[in-house]
Structure 1
Amino acid sequence: MMEPVLAQTTGFFRERPVTRGLAGAFSVVWVHRLDDHATPPIIITPDATIDLQWIDGRLRIAGPDKEPQVERPPAGAVIVGFRFRPGAAAGWLGVPASEIVGGRLDLGELWGTRARELSDRIKSAPNLIAMVRQLEEAIGMQTEGRETLDPLMGRAFDVVDEGLPPETPLVPFLQRHLHMSERTLRRRFENAFGYGPKTLDRILRFHRFRRLREKAGDASTAVLAVEAGYADQSHLIRESRRLAGVTPSALAGGAP
């Protein structure tokens, strides 16, 4: 039995910014082509994102996740993903993000015949580049001219992602920054991101550590943990196990 591996450590993975027609709702388009031989189970770690994915000739919605997910795609599978901008998925999909937390949903479950009509526009293509171009054009037709982004929630995401000053209580800070009551703040976060401010902060702090680790190379994990916003290295290790299922050192090695 093969051990699970982290998603981007197997096969071919690339991403780039989306074309202008998609930029109102999406940030990047990515391609993950799995190896032709037997593929191990893949661990997807929560990253506070929601993706529209083309896989096996259909469109599905992935995320937002609160805990690690394990997927078992077939060998040689090709997945094309369009990552929603923070605060845009609910407006584009027409459902609150809280209703799709942890989900891997066929777009037809949300859109019905409208999703089938969108999928029917995608024909067989001679190569992957042509396939991505078709997807961009079809999804762009559903995106151009629509106001799907919640700018205030996009700004809130950036504030949390950057990290608050040390010892700053998260919710009161956001209430002051966004001029919202606590109830409104939580409702808006759950609609836009699928969960409240504290969960979003936990997930983004973990990925802040991962970004720091990539840039810093051999820097001390304890130092990076504090720089990312953790109380100490033990705090980081607990969160890494909760969000990735592995320790930070195992995560850096690309396997559990």
Structure 2
Amino acid sequence: MTVMVEPYRERAARVAGADLWTRTAEGGDFRILPDGCMDLLLVDDGLVVAGPDERAWTGSAPRGTRFAGIRFGPGTAPGFFGVPARELLNERVPLAELWSPNRTRRLLDRIRSAPDPATALDIEVAKLVEEPTDRLISYVLRSVRDGLLRGTAGVSRLAATVGLSERQLHRRSLDAFGYGPKMLDRVLWMNVALDHARTGLALADVAMLTGYADQAHLTRDVKALTGLPPKILLA
């Protein structure tokens, strides 16, 4: 029997700010980079939750293993799974460990009985998601994306702006994202930098464009978070 290996595909999901992706494993190890997100994975016939990662995560799967996933935007998944993000940091756990086995089985049965399980995953998750109401999550993300946390005083400025102590802000961020605002900033901006580098832009220009002190700073940060320097990672 010939196993057809499908390329990685991704599109916007029905849940706001989330993506639906599919992939068939080629066999062997694969590297997942930290991105500040949490995923609900359909792996063959099981549902697995992938928590936020601090460092690159290396997994393996036999050739032909089929994956589909909903990648929630940073800070939006804890309400859906019912646990703080900090409890799932660097973890992969069956959904049935977070929800009741019966609830998980009903969701899985609806997905597996559909002609296209990936589309069914997208539809069923959208039915269950409630819109987040924590404005702090949106404000922290906007501050990160606007570059307001770059530099030594960024976190203290953000805490003062939202009327929290730095400790309170850190605790709220751990619950929402799995890590504090400074780590979130490092992870999200590393991904922005890698996206620019994938276009062929020189690393020195990428560093300047994305707020790193220089190319050496960018290289150190990418290696610390992924285990590889950017030139090898991108190759």
Calculate the TM-score normalised by the size of structure 1: 0.82
2:134 equivalent to 1:150: yes
Bigger drift between 165-174 and 96-105 goes to 165-174
The answer for the alignment partner of 1:206 in structure 2 is 190
Partner of 2:118: 132
1:165 is displaced (CA, Å) by 7.6
Structure 1: unaligned runs, 5 residues or longer: 1-9
> Is the Cα–Cα contact under 8 Å of residues 149 and 182 in structure 2 kept in the other structure?
no
Q: Secondary structure at the match of 1:67?
A: coil
Which residue is 2:35 aligned to? 47
Task: Number of aligned residue pairs: give it.
Answer: 230
Partner of 2:142: helix, strand, or coil? Answer: helix
AA aligned opposite 1:62: A
1:34 corresponds to which residue?
Answer: 25
Alpha-carbon offset, residue 162 of structure 1: 3.2
**2:36 alignment partner, SS class:** coil
Q: Is the Cα contact below 8 Å between 2:34 and 2:53 reproduced in 1?
A: yes
Q: Percent identity?
A: 37
Contact 1:15 1:30 in 2 (8 A): yes
Structure-1 residue corresponding to 2:110: 121
Residue pair 1:89, 1:149 contacting (<8 A) in 2 also: no
Instruction: Tell whether the 8 Å contact from 2:143 to 2:149 is kept in structure 1 after alignment.
Output: no
Residues 176 and 196 of structure 1: CA distance in aligned 2, closer, same or farther (over 3 Å): same
SS of the equivalent of 2:198 reads helix
Distance of 1:184 and 1:74 partners within structure 2: 44
TM (norm. structure 2) is 0.89
Letter in 1 for 2:24: R
Distance (whole Å) between structure 2 residues aligned to residue 151 and residue 57 of structure 1: 36
Q: What secondary structure sits across from 2:184 in the alignment?
A: helix
Match of 1:234 in 2: 216
Cα distance in structure 2, aligned partners of 1:183 and 1:124: 47
Residue 179 of structure 1, CA deviation = 2.8
The aligned runs of 1:56-205 (5 Å cut-off) are 56-113=44-101, 114-126=103-115, 130-143=116-129, 146-148=130-132, 150-164=134-148, 167=151, 169-205=153-189
RMSD (Å) for aligned C-alpha atoms:
2.0
Give the C-alpha shift of residue 172 in structure 1: 1.5
Write the distance in 1 (CA, Å) between the matches of 2:74 and 2:134: 8
For residue 30 of structure 1, give the secondary structure of its aligned residue in structure 2: strand
Q: Show structure 2 runs of 5+ residues with no match.
A: none
**1:43 counterpart SS class:** strand
Question: Which position in structure 2 is the counterpart of 1:6?
Answer: none
